[in-house]
Amino acid sequence: MTAKARQPRLRDVLLEQVRVTWLALRIPSLVGVGLAAVATVVALPTLIRGGPLNINGWPTWIPGIMGSLMPIAVWGKDERFGPGFLWTLPVDRRRHAFTKVLAGWVWLMAGLVVFLSWLFIMARISGEHVVPRTINLLISPAPPMGLVDPATVRAVPWNPSFLIGLVPFGGATGCYLLGSALVIGTRHPLRWVLGVVMLGALIAVISQPLGTQFGITWLAVAPGRAMEILVGSRYGLDALLTARSETLSTTATLTTAKSLRVWWGIPNLADWGVATLLWTGLGSIALWAAISRHGERRRI
Amino acid sequence: MISDGGSSRSEYAVTTHGLSKRYGRQPALDGVDLRVPDGAVYVLVGANGAGKSTLFKVLMNLERPDAGTAEVFGLDTGRFGPEVRAGIGYVPERQDAPHRAMTCARLLQHASTFYPEWDHAYADHLVRALAVQPQRRVGGLSKGETRRVQLVLALAYRPPLLLLDEPTDGLDPVVRRRALGLLAEHLADTQATVLVSTHHITELESLADHVGVLRDGRLVAQMPRDELQHSVKSYQLEVPDGWEAPPEFQPTGLRRATAGRVVQCTLVGEEREVMQRLAASGAVVRGVIPLSLEDSALAFLPEDPS
Amino acid sequence: MLVTIDPRDERPLYLQIIDQVRRALLEGTLRAEDPLPSVRELAGQLVVNPRTVSQAYGELEREGLIYVRRGQGTFVSSSIAPDRRARRALVRGVAERALVEARRNGLGVEELVSMIWEVAAEETAKKSHSTKPAGREDEEGVA
């Protein structure tokens, strides 16, 4: 009786999801711009003086945070489970979910470009380099204890390949994939996050005294070691997010009472590449599993 | 009592084969063989429960049945979910509108990108007729206003099948009538098939041409509405003491006068046949009252809400 | 032309519509070449399945009472005149319904017919009594 009703083109669906994601990002973007404006104003005196901004440190976490929070903006409060409007549309559900994820990723990359450009400009104005030209390497490859003797520090020229510019994008993507998997795959992602954090804290609090009491050394040490491996190891989280700049450096006070960023190892881009592949691979698998929960109910 | 209605030659828009779905202990659907003829206005009646809505969700491939299959325009709903949904206008039971931060106008525009057949002029007409305010935020709408937006979303692209789950729920009587009038006009334009579940059978009496009754998940009656009204009537009888209604006529609504031997009950069956059997059982028919569509359908449902 | 549906009438809806059109034609509220509401309009107004309206219009067209002008709508036939046939059909419908009702209540044809005459006579008496102007009534009373 009826002519087959037409389905939309995937390209149109993707474009529409990009537009819709922007609608959800208007307020967070405004907040971000506001924060940046505040930071610029605060840094103004330093900029005028031409002094060092000490950018190293907190900005390296921003890409990871942006990636982790983006899924919330993309999926928002809309029904993901049950008969949500999203799933009643005439598009294959897995593909539809992927277009939403992709739309969010596009805006994530755009937002990062804006953020990094701002950082770059600030750095240039103050005469600094975002990526340091010289690394103050400690002679002994170990974190310093107490005050540092300037004699133990060597200024080593560092000229990493341009690929280092991809570090924030890779880090944000990895976090975005994992965050999306969590948001899409669970009904209450926040409860899961809190649950895992609390469980981890509980284990950490218990295992230490328990281990020392019963003389089980590995138990006392395990939580700390686990965190170390997860974050600071060769392919850990820090490798993904900052190419291990955080694990390999710190701001130390010299015996001359000046403060200086000292390193006990040089970031290795090959390691960073592997770490990125590992984490984005893990994220992709988790995402695919999460999306499949909502797939079309095909029967054999 | 299932009947084909004599028009079995025409194609069916919706067919289900032994559809079953259980939530916990209760069967929401139990071996349902639904047949909705193409172009029909099929009213699905049943007590409050998951059955009717579950059926709609299976057709939209939002739920997987435990057993059985369903087809819409010949396409299996499980294997061809997106294709099937492209031809369906769905008004869901719950009124949670999506994208709460958008304005109504933006939401309609959003939906229009998914349906290439979307008619913007017709959508505007629907918006005006249903008094939807385009600039209001979706999240701030009342239950009734959300319902109206959902109606526009379902009708604007003139789908060949409309699945309406309590479409007038939450609407005041004036808007209800206008919405149903719009539906009638819509049917005149598109010759769509309508499968509607409702508690307000009365207001759909003039629109419906087929009726199905779901009871405890089973489809206990399915036939054209004329046949239903012919086969269910209320009989006023004078009976001897200790008289019981013949069970094969599914008596419901039995009422005995406190004095005398007068009984009123609703019986299912062809009028002449029923009269003969009643006479044979010793009852004297004092009056036969035809019933409204609602009362005829309710004859198939249990009387106590247990 | 105003068409209404009586929900308590057990006749098929399309017959109700046909009867109302026939009555309008007999009364003269519908005249030759008058436009009828389109199927779409009438269905929307009455909240009735458009097929029902089509069925009614189809039947009326078959009887020659209305015709369709392509692209312009449905109109009353030009050759319409107070039709004895149509009147008879109307009366027949009423009679059939009355007989079914009587049978259901266990009443005979003779009782029904004589009661109809009685009630009609009562109503005429009531009507003529109430339309007398007030002054005359006093005179009658005095006289």
pLDDT tens-place values along chain A, 300 residues long: 445 678 899 899 999 999 999 998 999 899 989 988 998 888 777 777 665 555 556 677 889 899 999 998 889 877 788 788 889 999 999 999 999 999 999 999 999 999 989 888 888 877 777 777 778 888 777 777 777 777 778 888 888 788 888 888 999 999 999 999 999 999 888 899 999 989 888 888 887 777 777 777 777 777 777 888 888 888 888 888 888 877 887 777 777 777 777 888 888 888 888 989 999 999 999 999 999 988 887 754
Mean pLDDT on B22-34:
90
Residue A256 has a pLDDT of 78
Q: Where are the domains of chain C?
A: 13-76, 84-142
- Mean pLDDT, chain B, integer: 87
Residue C75 has a pLDDT of 87
Q: Is B253 helix (H, G, I), strand (E, B) or coil?
A: strand
β-strand pairing of B41-46 with B193-197: parallel
Which amino acid appears at position C13 of this protein? L
Cβ contact (<8 Å) for A8 and B115?
Answer: yes
Residue C143 has a pLDDT of 40
In chain B, pLDDT over 70 holds for what percent of residues?
94
Residue B50 has a pLDDT of 63
**pLDDT band at residue C82, thresholds of 50, 70 and 90?**
low
Q: What chain C residue is nearest to B189 in terms of C-alpha separation? A: C40
Cβ contact (<8 Å) for B180 and C46?
Answer: no
Residue B280 has a pLDDT of 86
Chain B partners of A12 at a C-beta cutoff of 8 Å?
Answer: 113
Higher pLDDT, C78 or C86: C78
Chain B partners of A5 at a C-beta cutoff of 8 Å?
Answer: 83, 86-87, 117, 159-160
Q: Which domains does chain B have, with CATH numbers?
A: 12-216 (3.40.50.300), 227-298 (3.30.70)
User: Is the model's pLDDT at B36 over the cut of 70?
Assistant: yes
Q: Do at least 3 CB pairs under 8 Å connect A with C?
A: no
β-strand pairing of B262-268 with B252-256: antiparallel
Residue C131 has a pLDDT of 64
Cβ contact (<8 Å) for C104 and B187?
Answer: no
Q: Is some CB atom of chain B closer than 8 A to the CB atom of A12?
A: yes
β-strand pairing of B26-32 with B12-23: antiparallel
Q: Is A140 helix (H, G, I), strand (E, B) or coil?
A: coil
Listed in order, strand segments (DSSP E) in chain A are 134-138, 153-157, 249-253, 259-263
Contact B110, A12 (CB under 8 A): no
Q: Where are the domains of chain A?
A: 10-292
Angle between helices A269-292 and A167-185 in degrees, nearest 10: 20
Mean pLDDT on B40-49:
87
Which member of B81, B117, B159 has the closest CB to residue A296? B81
CATH number of C13-76: 1.10.10.10
User: Worst-scoring range by mean pLDDT, A6-10, B114-118, B197-201, C130-134?
Assistant: C130-134
Q: Do at least 3 CB pairs under 8 Å connect B with C?
A: yes
The percent of chain B in helix, strand and coil, each rounded to the nearest 5, is 30, 30, 40
Residue B270 has a pLDDT of 86
> Which two tokens mark C40?
């779409």
Rg of chain C over Cα atoms, rounded to whole angstroms, equals 20
Chain A / chain B CB contacts < 8 angstroms: 98
Q: CB B109: neighbour CB atoms within 10 A?
A: 17
Residue A299 has a pLDDT of 59
Chain C partners of B290 at a C-beta cutoff of 8 Å?
Answer: 10
- Is the ipTM here above 0.95? no
User: Is the model's pLDDT at B150 over the cut of 90?
Assistant: yes
Which member of A5, A82, A83 has the closest CB to residue B159? A5
Would the pTM count as exceeding 0.80? yes
Mean pLDDT on B265-289:
85
Q: CB B35: neighbour CB atoms within 10 A?
A: 20
Contact B229, B43 (CB under 8 A): no
User: Is the model's pLDDT at C72 over the cut of 50?
Assistant: yes
Burial class (CB in 10 A: 0-12, 13-18, 19+), A41: exposed
Listed in order, strand segments (DSSP E) in chain C are 35-36, 66-69, 73-76
Distance of CA A67 to CAs A59, A120, A180, A196, Å?
14, 20, 9, 19
Give the torsion sign (CA, B188, B190, B192, B198): negative
Cβ contact (<8 Å) for B287 and C45?
Answer: no
Alpha carbon distance B279, B286 (integer Å): 11
Contact A167, A245 (CB under 8 A): no
Q: What chain C residue is nearest to B272 in terms of C-alpha separation? A: C104
Model pLDDT for residues B154-185, shown as the tens digit of each residue: 999 999 999 999 998 888 889 999 999 999 99
Which amino acid appears at position B33 of this protein? D
β-strand pairing of C66-69 with B88-91: unpaired
Cβ contact (<8 Å) for C7 and B209?
Answer: no
Residue A52 has a pLDDT of 59
